[in-house]
């Protein structure tokens, strides 16, 4: 067994070190610096101390976008976790054409978000869209009318949450791998003890896949904090800014209002929130997650 | 019972794709019945819709397709080569500080794009890269954290004895990497190439920030441009354009399903 010198190691990871310095460390440092300046691109950044951060405290739009992002994040993660675990359990059954069913469930996740947004823009159209056609086809006899999906904050947010469910494919694949790794003996031992299907799911399967849930929740937080393309194309800011999310606000400040300083400070805030939440989830995970052999 | 559920779930999952295809074969009224007027008229409409989209003057989809393919080709090549080199350094080369450096690399995946978006814009503007493809593919040549992670996991599964044997034969790390590790890692390299291709195809915010001129647009921006003319653009044409963007990734998915699934399960089970 040979041990290499540190310089050999650094040389091999050199491409990443270089790229990391130029495209990550430098921009993050610049973002922190711009966050303390007034910067319009037309002239060099003017230091303004913590103005951008105190401005956040009485920026009602920031409050709205943070609330919207948090609401979307929590609901889409909870909904996505429940749906993807259910789908994984369903697809783990040994049935004929198993690979077809799995492929069908995964397929929509490869659609580019822009394409998905265009498809749903028509799908949710109150007049001619398939969503309301189906709702009225099924429940029209009871006088139920399809909602005006983009007309109210509630329905616009609901529309976005529903769309996010067509992207659960990767999570389902990861849960399927997790379910496959649950030892058969545990199932058998529990059923000998007279534990029913639901009991086995709650007391055996869920604890065994809890590390996978933790992983998916962290990925979910990172993604939800950055939700951008679908709302931009589908709902825009939404009625009363109900679907205006943090990344959209950063983009608008930077490239619509030309306020690079405030946009950078908002980006730093976003980064800090992701770090805090991921840390909190990991800490909570220590208590709640079961690690085999730990 | 379980089959009923499976059929329902699969139908729901495939609904957006089916809907897109159905509308793209129809007339301007999306509420008109599917395959109206029989197979002959439907075939004419398909030719008309796709022909219109592919030759439309204001939105040049063949050009957007070429632009996207070009960025994807450069990015996929770069990210695969560089990530493999870095992953070798994180798996087959043993050096002090490797573990720490690896954790640092993994944690960079948490950095949201919006925080670096403004500085990257000003940096690229400084060197004249705004309005060129460079910001969209040059960074890919310096390795991508997720790809490096996937390749490292794969490299670690290759028996160490192979390294020892090649060293006895007088091979250094470079030859070991090129002649032993890379040929054994084709499936993992394919995963990385495929994921980066999907990333480029899907990326909306990157092109939106860095590209300035219509001639440089990617499919994502082109489709947005087409959508913004909704009102003048009938739905059947919009869906035909969407199909143009979606078809390549769907074909890739059908052909490379195993690669997708393996890549994702590796990421999940060893994360």
From CA A25, how far away is CA A28, in angstroms rounded?
5
Query: Could you say which of A22, A174, A226 has the minimum Cβ distance to residue B264?
Result: A174
Contact A270 B93 (CB under 8 A): no
Q: What pLDDT is recorded for position A293?
A: 55
Q: Is B2 strand, coil or helix?
A: helix
The pLDDT tens digits for A25-66 are 999 999 999 999 999 988 899 999 999 999 999 999 999 999
Q: What angle do CA B255, B256, B258 make, to 5 degrees?
A: 130
Is A31 inside a domain boundary? no
Whether A21 is covered by a domain: the verdict is no
Is A227's pLDDT higher than 80?
yes
CATH number of the domain bearing residue B121: 1.10.3720.10
Q: Do B97 and A24 touch (CB under 8 A)?
A: no
Which tokens sit at B31? 């509420």
pLDDT of residue B36: 77
d(CA A123, CA A134): 10
A270 touches chain B (CB under 8 A): yes
Beta strand pairing call for A46-47 and A37-38? antiparallel
The average pLDDT across A253-264 equals 96
Would you say A62 and A56 are in contact if contact means Cβ atoms under 8 Å apart? yes
pLDDT less than 70: residues of chain B: 269-271
A103 touches chain B (CB under 8 A): yes
Q: Is residue A66 part of a domain?
A: yes
Does the beta-carbon distance from B118 to A274 stay under 8 Å? Answer: no
Question: Does the distance separating the beta carbons of A108 and B16 come in below 8 Å?
Answer: yes
* Structural domain boundaries, residue B108: 62-219
Q: Do A177 and B269 touch (CB under 8 A)?
A: yes
A182 belongs to a structural domain: yes
**What is the tens place of the pLDDT at every residue in A96-127?**
899 899 999 999 999 999 999 999 999 999 88
Q: A270, exposed or middle or buried, with CB in 10 Å at 0-12, 13-18, 19+? A: buried
Q: Please name the member of A4, A28, A123 whose beta carbon is closest to the beta carbon of B19.
A: A123
Q: Note the pLDDT of residue B103.
A: 94
Overall pTM surpassing 0.95 (yes/no): no
Q: Is B216 left (phi over 0), alpha (psi -120 to 50) or beta?
A: alpha
List the 47-86 stretch of A: residues with Cβ below 8 A of B. none
Is the CB of residue A270 less than 8 Å from the CB of residue A225? Answer: yes
Q: What are the tens digits of pLDDT across the range B106-143?
A: 999 999 999 999 999 999 999 999 999 999 999 999 99
Q: How far is A30 from chain B (nearest CA, A)?
A: 6
Has residue A259 been placed in a domain?
yes
Residue of A nearest to B225 (CA): A233
Q: Average pLDDT of chain A?
A: 93
Neighbours of B6 (CB within 10 A): 22
Question: How much is the pLDDT for B93?
Answer: 92
Q: How far, in Å, CA of A247 to CA of A274, rounded?
A: 13
Report the number of distinct structural domains present in chain B: 1
Q: Both tokens of residue A235? A: 């709902």
pLDDT recorded at residue B138: 97
Best interface-test mutation with A: which of B1, B5, B7, B13 has the largest number of A CBs within 10 A?
B13
- Report the pLDDT value the prediction gives residue B269, as an integer from 0 to 100: 66
Residue B94 lies in a domain: yes
CB contact under 8 A, B239 and A16: no
CB B189 within 8 A of CB B197: no
Residue A100 with chain B: CB contacts under 8 Å: 10
Q: Is B23 contained in some domain?
A: no
Say if residues A73 and A224 touch (Cβ distance below 8 Å): yes
The nearest alpha carbon in chain B to A93 belongs to B2
Q: Do B96 and A95 touch (CB under 8 A)?
A: no
Nearest-Cα distance to chain B for A134, in Å, is 12
Residue window 176-215, chain A: list those with CB within 8 Å of chain B.
Answer: 176-178, 181, 212, 215
Q: A225 contacts in B (CB within 8 Å)?
A: 112
Interface residue of A3, A122, A138, A181 to substitute, partner B, most B CBs within 10 Å:
A122
- Assign A159 to helix, strand or coil: helix
Domain count of the fold of chain A: 1
* A24 interfaces chain B, CB cutoff of 8 Å: yes
Chain A residue whose CA is closest to B226 = A118
**Chain B closest-CA separation from residue A113 CA (Å):** 6
The reply to whether B46 falls in a domain is no
Contact A170 B264 (CB under 8 A): yes
For position A294, what pLDDT does the model report?
Answer: 43
Residue A42 lies in a domain: no
Any domain includes A75: yes
Domain that holds residue A255: 60-288
CATH number for the domain harbouring residue A273: 1.10.3720.10
């Amino acid at each position: 067994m040979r041990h290499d010198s540190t310089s050999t190691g650094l040389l091999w990871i050199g491409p990443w070190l270089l790229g990391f310095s130029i495209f990550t460390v430098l921009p993050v440092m610049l973002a922190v610096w711009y966050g303390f300046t007034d910067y319009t691109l037309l002239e060099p950044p003017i230091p303004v101390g913590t103005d951008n951060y105190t401005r956040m405290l009485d920026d009602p739009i920031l409050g709205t976008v943070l609330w919207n992002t948090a609401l979307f994040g929590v609901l889409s993660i909870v909904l996505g976790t429940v749906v993807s675990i259910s789908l994984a359990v369903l697809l783990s059954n040994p049935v004929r054409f198993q690979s077809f069913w799995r492929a069908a469930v995964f397929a929509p996740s490869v659609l580019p978000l822009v394409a998905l947004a265009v498809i749903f823009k028509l799908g949710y159209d109150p007049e001619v869209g398939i969503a309301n056609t189906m709702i009225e086809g099924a429940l029209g006899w009871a006088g139920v009318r399809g909602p005006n999906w983009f007309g109210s904050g509630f329905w616009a947010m609901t529309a976005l949450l529903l769309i996010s469910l067509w992207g659960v494919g990767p999570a389902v694949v990861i849960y399927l791998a997790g379910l496959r790794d649950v030892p058969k003996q545990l199932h058998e031992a529990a059923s000998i003890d007279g534990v029913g299907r639901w009991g086995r799911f709650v007391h055996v399967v869920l604890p065994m896949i809890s590390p996978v849930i933790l992983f998916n929740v962290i990925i979910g937080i990172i993604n939800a904090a950055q939700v951008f393309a679908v709302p931009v194309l589908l709902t825009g800011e939404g009625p009363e800014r109900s679907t205006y999310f943090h990344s959209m606000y950063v983009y608008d400040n930077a490239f619509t209002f030309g306020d690079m300083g405030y946009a950078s400070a908002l980006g730093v805030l976003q980064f800090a929130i992701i770090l805090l939440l991921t840390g909190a989830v990991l800490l909570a995970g220590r208590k709640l997650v079961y690690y085999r052999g730990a | 019972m379980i089959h009923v559920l499976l059929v329902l779930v699969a139908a729901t999952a495939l609904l957006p794709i089916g809907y897109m295809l159905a509308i793209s074969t129809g007339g301007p009224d999306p509420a008109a019945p599917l395959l109206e007027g029989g197979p002959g008229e439907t075939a004419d409409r398909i030719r008309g819709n796709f022909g219109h989209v592919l030759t439309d003057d204001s939105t040049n989809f063949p050009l957007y397709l070429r632009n996207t393919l070009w960025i994807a080709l450069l990015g996929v090549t770069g990210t695969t080569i560089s990530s493999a080199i870095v992953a070798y350094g994180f798996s087959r080369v043993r050096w002090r500080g490797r573990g720490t450096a690896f954790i640092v690399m993994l944690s960079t995946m948490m950095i949201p794009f919006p925080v670096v978006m403004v500085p990257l814009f000003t940096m690229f503007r400084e060197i004249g890269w705004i309005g060129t493809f460079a910001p969209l593919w040059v960074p890919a040549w310096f390795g991508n954290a997720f790809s490096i992670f996937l390749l490292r996991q794969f490299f670690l599964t290759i028996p160490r004895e192979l390294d020892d044997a090649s060293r006895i034969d007088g091979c250094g790390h470079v030859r070991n990497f090129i002649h032993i590790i890379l040929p054994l890692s084709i499936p993992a390299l394919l995963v990385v190439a495929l994921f980066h291709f999907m990333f480029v195809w899907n990326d909306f915010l990157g092109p939106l920030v860095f590209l300035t001129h219509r001639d440089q647009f990617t499919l994502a921006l082109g489709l947005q441009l087409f959508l913004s003319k909704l009102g003048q653009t009938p739905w059947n044409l919009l869906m035909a354009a969407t199909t143009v963007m979606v078809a390549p990734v769907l074909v890739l998915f059908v052909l490379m399903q195993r690669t997708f699934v393996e890549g994702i399960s590796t990421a999940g089970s060893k994360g």
